[in-house]
């Protein structure tokens, strides 16, 4: 099954006898928008969302409290499961996640659902900007009493899809570890968020932005395979991905899935790695 879905395919699926559950996961990495106010995903959802979609809060429902394990550690499974059931997610129901742009937040929801055992999850390619159908405001949704019925999904985590700090360090030596952040952060030229710039020794720079075209849609699978192949990534080599806090890296794992290559996610990512000053840091374009 393809891990992404186009807007036209989604429109058809919503008219089918088995429509997917829709998760609206709008979120921004920056703490403030151009107005100077923090981005409010719920307010964006309330102003207009794909009809039937349910808002999911990335910071509160797809992650747990920031700390030594990073800015977006794995969520408490009870909290995550309750959020998914509230949204109408059941084990046998298809799910589509979308956000307001490139797909980082939607990919985090996709990855968590897949990791915890849901068999049918996709991300809307291009996010909400790609959707040319009607939008529904929250007041309209309430008036139509369109809240979904409670789902029955119970998260059951799989094994090898998750890396910790030691596992990421080992994979950088024995396989391929990709750094999904912007190149200047990988090289340590700038670090706007974490206390130290640079990268995990042995990791290769593979910015998430290169996974998509100018419209924010994923590049074709063949192009993605060629891109990752230039970095030594094949189906026969163990692959892992990290970023700043395990959000944009989920998008890279999704891009690898589109290319037909399984990959593990280092959820704690650079924000966890740099929380321990004893961990080594490499700078510059050289992986080592």
What's the average model confidence in pLDDT over 84-113?
96
Report the C-alpha gap between 121 and 115 in whole angstroms. Answer: 11
* Structural contact between residues 173 and 166, judged by C-beta atoms closer than 8 angstroms: no
Cα-atom radius of gyration of the chain, to the nearest Å?
A: 18
pLDDT of amino acid 283: 97
- CB atoms closer than 10 angstroms to residue 124: 26
- 232 catalytically annotated: no
Mean of all residue pLDDT scores within the chain: 93
Higher-confidence residue: 244 or 141? 244
* Structural contact between residues 23 and 56, judged by C-beta atoms closer than 8 angstroms: yes
pLDDT of amino acid 94: 97
Report the C-alpha gap between 13 and 280 in whole angstroms. Answer: 48
What's the average model confidence in pLDDT over 142-161?
80
pLDDT of amino acid 142: 60
Q: Of residues 163, 243, 259, 264, which has the active-site annotation?
A: 243
pTM of the entire structure?
Answer: 0.94
> Does the structure show a pLDDT above 60 at 33?
no
pLDDT of amino acid 35: 53
What's the average model confidence in pLDDT over 146-158?
89
> Does the structure show a pLDDT above 50 at 143?
no
pLDDT of amino acid 121: 98
């Amino acid at each position: 099954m393809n891990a992404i879905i186009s807007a036209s395919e989604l429109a058809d699926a919503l008219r089918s006898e088995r429509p997917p559950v829709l998760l609206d996961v709008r979120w921004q990495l920056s703490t403030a928008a151009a107005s100077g106010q923090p981005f409010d995903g719920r307010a964006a959802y309330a102003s207009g969302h794909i009809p039937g979609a349910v808002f999911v809060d990335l910071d509160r429902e797809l992650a747990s409290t920031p700390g030594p394990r990073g800015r977006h550690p794995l969520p408490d499974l009870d909290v995550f499961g309750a959020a998914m059931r509230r949204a109408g997610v059941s084990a046998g129901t298809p799910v589509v996640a979308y956000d307001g742009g490139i797909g980082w937040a939607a990919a985090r929801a996709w990855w968590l659902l897949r990791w915890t055992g849901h068999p049918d999850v996709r991300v809307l390619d291009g996010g909400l900007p790609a959707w040319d159908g009607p939008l529904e405001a929250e007041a309209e949704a309430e008036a139509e009493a369109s809240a979904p019925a409670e789902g029955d999904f119970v998260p059951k985590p799989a094994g090898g899809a998750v890396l910790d700090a030691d596992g990421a360090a080992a994979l950088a030596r024995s396989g391929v570890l990709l750094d999904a952040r912007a190149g200047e952060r990988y090289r340590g030229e700038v670090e706007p968020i974490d206390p130290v710039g640079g990268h995990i020794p042995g990791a290769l720079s593979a910015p998430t932005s290169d996974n998509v075209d100018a419209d924010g849609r994923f590049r074709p699978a063949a192009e993605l395979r060629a891109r990752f192949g230039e970095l030594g990534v094949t189906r026969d080599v163990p692959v892992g991905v990290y970023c700043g806090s395990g959000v944009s890296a989920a998008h890279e794992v999704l891009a690898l899935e589109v290319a037909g290559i399984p990959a593990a996610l280092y959820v704690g990512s650079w924000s966890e790695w740099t929380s321990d000053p004893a961990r080594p840091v490499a700078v510059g374009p050289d992986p080592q």
